[in-house]
Amino acid sequence: MVISYRDRRTPDFRVRYRFLSEAEGGRKQLPFQHIRSDFLYGGDDPQKEGIWCIWPEFLAPDGTVLPEDGRSVPGEGLADMYILNTELRKEHAERIRVGTKGYFVEGPRKTAVCEVVAVEGLSNVL
C-alpha cells in the first residue's frame, strides 16, 4: 500500500528534477521515496537566505506517486513538493513560479537540480 503525502493535503508545487552524479558533487546512490531532503532556491546563499523544509514526493511518468518499496527513485523525473511549515506558505507563494529553479539539498550538499513546472496548492495562498 502506498502512503502518500497527497493523502493528507494537496502538493504545493511540482518540479522536474535531475539528481547530480557523484562526479558533480551529488549522491553516490539514488535515494528512495520520501527522502527528507530540503530545498534551496537557485541563486540563494544557504548561509544567508537559508534552506527550507520542502520535501519531494517522486512521481511515475503517469503522475502517480511512486511506492515506498525500497527501490531507488529515477535519476530524473517529476516530484510533488510539500512545504512542511504551513505558516510559511505565503512567503513561498511569493517566490514559487513556473520556471523557478532550485536544488534538493542534504546538509550543505546539493544533490539534485530542479525547476518548478506547476504551482498547485500554493496557487490559492496569495
Distances (CA, A) of 25 to 19, 22, 28, 53, 123: 10, 5, 9, 21, 33
The cell for 28 is 553516490
Spell out the per-residue pLDDT of the chain, length 126, in tens.
Answer: 567 888 889 999 999 999 999 999 999 999 999 999 999 999 999 999 999 999 999 999 999 999 999 899 999 999 999 999 989 999 999 999 999 999 999 988 999 999 999 999 998 876
Type of residue at 80? D
In CATH terms, 10-61+74-124 corresponds, of 2.40.30.10, 1.10.10.10, 2.60.40.730, 3.40.50.1100, to 2.40.30.10
Cβ contacts of 10 within 8 Å, gap of 6 or more: 120, 121
Alpha carbons 95 and 50: distance in angstroms, whole number? 14
